[in-house]
Structures are given as C-alpha cells and as structure tokens.
Amino acid sequence: MMNPLRPLRPRPVPAAGSAINGQSADVSRPGVHRAPRQRKTNSACDPCRKRKTKCDGKLPRCLMCEHRVEACAYTYSIRHRVTVTEGEDSRGHGSSEMLDSLRTLPHEQALELFCKLRNEPNSPSLPVSASSERSYPRGLLPPSQKSLSFELNLRYPIAYPALFPVSYKDLPRGEMLKSISTPWLLGEQIVCSGQDLQPNYPYMIPDREDEESGPELASPALDDDDDPASTLFDERLRLVDISKWTPVAIPNDLAINTISHYLENDYATIPLFSADLFIQDLVNIQYSFCSPFLVTAILCWACQAYTPLHPDAAAYSVAFFTQAQQHFLEQPQSNSLTTIAAFQILGMCAATYGKDDMSLQFLQESARLCRLMGLFDVTCQSESAGTWLGNHEDWTRTASYTAWGVYNWVSVYSLHYHIFEIATPPLLPKPRDLISALPAGSSAALHAEVVSASSEMWVTFNAVVQSLYSPRDRTPSQEMSLKLAEETYRQLLQWTSGLPIQLARAEEMGHNAMMMHIYLHAIITDLFRPFLDSSLGTERLSSFPTELATPEAVYTASVEQLKRLLLLYRLRYRHAGLSVLWQTAIIYVANAMIREAGVAAQDPDASPPSEQEWGFYLDLCLVGLQDLCVSFRAFGFITQGIMSMALRNAAIPTEKAARVLRQLGEIEKQHNANQGMTVKAETRCIVDFDLALTDPKAAQGQNLVEQLAELMLDEMGPDDEGDGGGS
C-alpha cells in the first residue's frame, strides 16, 4: 500500500513590501531570489535582426545597441521606422518621435505601438515642447490614409516609393556640406565628390525582404572605392593612341581616363552613340562610328568634368574647345551620325563655359542634321532614317542611340532653357529593342534600358513643352493647362507602372536610373507649378478618388521625392557627382526650398533657417553648385542666381551670401589661371522657376546676378561692397 503524500502547510502571507520591484522571496529557502523572467518582445530592432542576436525590444534604443553605440531602428509592418542615431541623446528626440507616430499612424498600428510603449518598464517620458515637435517635419512622418501621398505610395510605388522618416539632424551635416572647392583651391587632389555613407544609413532606401541582391545592373562602379585610373569603362580603351585622333598634345593616359570617366557618367545617362562601336573604331582607327571631330568634342567635355581629379584637365578642355571650333569653321561637316553627336556634345560644352549663343547654335545644327537624315520630325516611315539604314545591324543600332539620345538631351535642355525644338519624336526603334543578344545584366543592357525608358517619358512630356514654350502658342488658358497637366501626369504614372523592376529605386541601382527618376519629378513639378499661386492650386484632380488630390498635393509629393533623391545622390554617387547632369536635382530642390522659405518668412514665430529642414536642403544645394563650379564656369552665375532668390525670400543671411560670393570669386580666379580663358561667363538658363511663369527673361541666371548685386548693396551698404566677389 502506497504511503500517503505529506500534507502541505498553507503558504505564508509575505510581509508588506517583500515583493517590491517585481521580486518574490521563497520563504522555504531564505536568501534565494528568482530572477525575473525576461519579457518577450514582438519586435527586434533592425541591427539585432541582421546580426541574429537577442534583442530586448527596448525603446527608443535596445540594450545591445547601447553597448555597440550604433543606430537602433525598429521596422514595423507598415514600413515606419523609429530611429535613434549614433551619439544622439534619445530622451527628447525619442519622445517627440513616439508622440508624433501615435498621432499619425493608422489606428491599428498606433494601438500596437501604444501597447508596446505601455509594457515598457522604462518608457520615454512624453512631454514634448513645441520647438522639439518642429524638429521633426511632417514630411518625414508616414502619410495619412486620406492623403494623396498615401495613395501614390500604394498605387505607384516606382514613382513614389514610401520614404522612411529621416530627420536632417540625424545626417552627417558636416560631411555632406563639405565642398570640394576648398581643397581644390589649395591644390589638393580630389579623389571623389563625397563619401559613400549608404551602408550606415539603410533607411534611405526601401527595405529588401532578404539579404540577397538582384542582378547587378548598375553602371560599372566608379561609385565604389576603385581608383578611376585603374578601372576603365572598357579595357579596350588601354589600346587607344589618342595622337592618331587629335593634334592637341594631351598625355595618352589622361585622355583614356577622361574618356572612360565620360562613358561611366554622362554617357550612361544620355548616350548619343553606341559605346561598343565607338570604342571599336577608336582603337582600330576606323571612321564609321568614330571621327576626329567627335573625339575632340568628347575630350573637351570629359576634361571639364575631370577638372577636380587632375590639375591639367581644365587647360586641356579649353584647348579641345578651341580645336573643335576651328574644326567646325574650317572643315566641311559631313552628314553623319558622328557629326550629330559631336555637335550635341559641343553644345553642352559651350553652355557650361557660359556661351549660350554658341550652345544653342550647336544644338540647333545637330537637330538640323537629324531632320535631314530622317532621325526625327518625320511623319512616316518612308521619310525616316530606316529607308537608308536598311537591315544593317550596326548602323541601325548607333542611329537609334543618336536619334533618341539627341531627343532626350534636347528635352533636358528645354527644362532649363524653356525652348521647344523637336515636334515629332524619332520613328526608329529604341536601343533596348536592338540588344536582344546582350546579357541582361550587362552595363550596355542597362544603358539601353535607361535611354529607352527615358525616351518614353520625354515623349509624354513633349505636348506640355510645346504648349508652354512653343512661340506659336504661349498663352493657353489656366483651365486648359490644368487639364493637360493632369492628363500628362496620369500618363506618366501609367508609364512608371510599366517600368522594369531594374529601374525601380533600390540599393543596387545605377546613377543613370536615379537621374531618370530625378527628371520625372522635375517634370511633375513643372506640370503643376503654374497653379500653385492661383485658386486652381486647390482644385481637385478627377484622376484620384481622394478629395485631397490637388495640384499643390502633387507638387509637394514630388518635391519630397526630389529631396530624397538629392540626398541619396550626394551620399552614394562619388564620381557621378562631378557630372553636370545632376544640376537638375540641385536647381529644382533649391527652388522648392526657397519657396518654402518665403512662406516661413511670413510667420513671426518661425525658427531661423539653420533650424529648419528647408535651410539644410538649401545649404546642400549651394554646396552642390559650388562643387559644379570647380568644373563648369557657368555654375558661378547659376549659384549667384540662386543666392539672389534666397536673399529676396530671406532664406539666407547676407553674411553667408558674402562668404559664398568670396568662394566663387576665388574659383573664378583659379579658372582664369588654369585655363587662360578670361572671357566673362554668362548664362540664360532659367534659374527662378516661379518668376519664369510671368517674366522668363528676368528669371534667367545673368539677370538674377544683376539683382544680387543690388540686394547685397542694399543689405550691406556701400562700405561692405568690396567683401563680396563674383564669378
């Protein structure tokens, strides 16, 4: 028979306070305390997820990240992030961001976040001052479900990917606002235009569901740590003997590196010929797809961009520019594809030298030859270049690049100079339709895809260019203009929905694909800018179900995308940052920020520019313009034009404008010493987009510079005028 179990006595009642702080004593074993069970957490922070280490889920920073002294970020299912940056005092910022998140998140996610905060034993205190709330602009928070941005993020994620909240205060301000002009003026060699900080800022791009990257389609990476002299666009370039192509006595290795730099950067965005066929003839000294005129034009353009990387590049650029002009004046130009490309490139050179009359002459000569050869502005296939190209594969391929490349470049030119030049796009097939034999992941395939997709975008925008800038019809009614703008916008959104996934914004995208996105949002802001200061700015757009879909909302959504694109471009792309093409992002964002500054100036309680987001982005634009001034003289005028607008809208103090002017003056002196070119640069490109709606001539760079001189004199007085400077 089994022994009965020993009877147990009732558990003693614990003394008061013995279980304080969640610790219970075991009376049967005095002095022994059970460790409190670790609370389970539903969310691990991103660094712990990546390392696969245990995370306590503590907000705003987990224990592991405290020990590692690194950024701690939590990604929720709605892709909203709560981030505390390295070295930042999390108490005030964490509370502000938590409170803003609770206010703006959809109900279910806000409730989930609230429960998480409530279960925290040491939740951050919630009292937040008004000034702290202003430090996190509404544009950095998840959009409301009723907003247009929310619908655009969901329905058109390629054009409007959801932007992770990023405070400008969390960014490496000192590093990002460091101009290459300072070391360049001291004679130091510039290796790159900025540091690639992307690995430390993963929230700058959309999340990947896995750690594996897709096919590598970026342009061959001079954006990495490679020395530009050791890695070439194409290894065949090492076989080039440049003395066979030009009388200018440039060192062979410098010529090779500058041509490679051009092919890596500017060509990758707007190719004007087939690089493969060009290099083939360049090496073999053949003249079907290469010519001395084209080589001279490319070297002139490439040496300009290479100025920060080599002390003699600027002088060689001037020599090639002189040689190209002499070639144009003294030798009859053949009706050839290489001549068309050479004229187009020389037009770019003249524009960046501040010679706009010559630039327009070269551009129009290039367009004239295109029409003569049937590349565009033809109404039927019988008039098209296809009739003389026949079935010749190589000629058809290079003609396709030239036709669509010129069309795209003239379209970009129209953004900045407000001209209308081409009525009918090419009838030739696009480059991507002619590369079926190329590997899908090659750089040539990506170049063909980018130029082809960009061509479709510019064709869609062409009707608006004709309506706005054609001399035949410059005054359409605002109602008709709004209908055209909305229809064009709808077509652009449909176009983005059909883009291949390789052209979506992601970690491995090349700078050329990002430039396509920059052009897209520049176009969209141009579409709706005319209505911002009228009653039509709040007119509902019928293409969207939300009542908040207005021209103002579309403009704001695209400005937010442009700001992020500007930030990413400067953070990620080193040598591509020396390209003149990214001026579009700089000038468009600068215009938007100065517009915000004008609104803020009317608020007596507004913080100073240095404490506002638009102030940071305006500084970023000014630094980007100063960097471009090192290579391209005309940007001295453009920078002064932007400062004129900023002073007029109280966006920068006069003392800061004077410092920038002094720096521009030093750059101009250095250019004169390096190049031997003392002709004053001027530019008639449109700098003030709002003013251009009513007075295009006054909005040009050279006229804004004259206004700047008057503004500086009014602000500083005649005694301080000598402290300025100019370019």
* pLDDT in the model for residue 126: 44
pLDDT at 102 over 80: no
pLDDT of residue 472: 62
Report the pLDDT value the prediction gives residue 437, as an integer from 0 to 100: 64
CA distance readout (Å), 266 to 302, 346, 389, 406, 580: 9, 14, 27, 13, 8
The mean pLDDT of 507-516, rounded to a whole number, is: 90
Per-residue pLDDT at 473: 53
Give the pLDDT of residue 137: 47
Q: What is the mean pLDDT of residues 268-296?
A: 97
Q: pLDDT value at position 575?
A: 77
Whether residue 438 contacts residue 444, with contact meaning beta carbons closer than 8 Å, is answered with yes
| pLDDT for position 209 | 36
pLDDT at 72 over 70: yes
Instruction: Tell me which residue of 82, 85, 84 sits closest to 99, measured CA to CA.
Output: 82
Q: For residue 50, what pLDDT band results from cuts at 50, 70 and 90?
A: confident
Per the document, the length of the chain is: 727
At 9, is the secondary structure helix, strand, or coil?
Answer: coil
- Checking if the pLDDT of 197 tops 60, the result is no
Name every residue whose Cβ is closer than 8 Å to that of residue 216 and which is 6 or more positions away in sequence: 441, 508
- For residue 25, what pLDDT band results from cuts at 50, 70 and 90? very low
Please check the confidence at residue 106 and state whether its pLDDT lies above 90. no
What are the extents of the domains in the chain? Answer: 46-176, 217-471
DSSP per-residue letters across 77-118: TT--EEEE-TT--HHHHHHHHHHHHHHHS-HHHHHHHHHHHH
Residue 624 has a pLDDT of: 95
Q: What is the mean pLDDT of residues 192-196?
A: 40
Q: Which of 409-413, 415-419, 576-580, 586-590 shows the lowest per-residue confidence on average (mean pLDDT)? A: 576-580
Mean pLDDT calculated for residue range 366-384? 93
CB 592 within 8 A of CB 559: yes
C-alpha 181/C-alpha 178 separation (Å) is 9
pLDDT of 657-697, one tens digit each? 999 999 999 998 988 887 666 567 788 999 999 999 999 99
**Quick one: pLDDT at residue 477?**
77
Q: What percent of the chain has pLDDT over 90?
A: 52
Q: What is the mean pLDDT of residues 380-401?
A: 91
Q: How far apart are CA 389 and CA 395, in angstroms?
A: 6
Angle at 142 between CA 141 and CA 143, to 5 degrees: 110
| Predicted pLDDT of residue 188 | 77
Q: Which carries the bigger pLDDT value, residue 486 or residue 75? A: 486
Q: How far is CA 600 from CA 221, 346, 538, 587, 612, in A?
A: 41, 42, 20, 20, 10
Q: How many helices (H) and strands (E) does the chain have?
A: 27, 2
Q: Given this model, what pLDDT does residue 109 score?
A: 63
Vertex 337: Cα angle to 331 and 341 (nearest 5): 80
Dump pLDDT digits (tens) for 220-235. Answer: 333 444 454 568 999 9
- Considering only 327-341, 374-388, 437-451, which range has the smallest mean pLDDT? 437-451
Res 460 pLDDT > 90:
yes
State the pLDDT at residue 3.
63
pLDDT at 452: 97
Helix (H, G, I), strand (E, B) or coil at 25: strand
pLDDT at 139 over 60: no
Mean pLDDT of the chain: 81
Q: Give residue 176's pLDDT band: very low, low, confident or very high (50, 70, 90).
A: confident
Q: Tell me which H or E stretch contains 557.
A: helix 551-572
Tell me the per-residue pLDDT of 558-610, one tens digit each, with 9 for 90 and over.
Answer: 999 999 999 999 988 877 888 999 999 999 999 999 999 998 888 777 777 77
* pLDDT at position 116: 63
- 218 and 510 Cβ atoms separated by less than 8 Å: yes
Higher pLDDT, 209 or 466: 466
pLDDT for position 450: 95
Both tokens of 153, joined, read 């993020």
Per DSSP, helices labelled H in 265-422 are 266-269, 275-284, 292-305, 313-330, 337-352, 356-372, 386-389, 393-417
Contact 271, 447 (CB under 8 A): yes
Q: Is 567 buried (19+), middle (13-18) or exposed (0-12) by CB count in 10 A?
A: buried
Q: Stretch 46-58: mean pLDDT, rounded?
A: 79
629-637: average pLDDT = 93
Model confidence at 76: pLDDT above 70 = no
Question: Is the predicted pLDDT of residue 212 greater than 70, yes or no?
Answer: no
Mean pLDDT of 168-182: 85
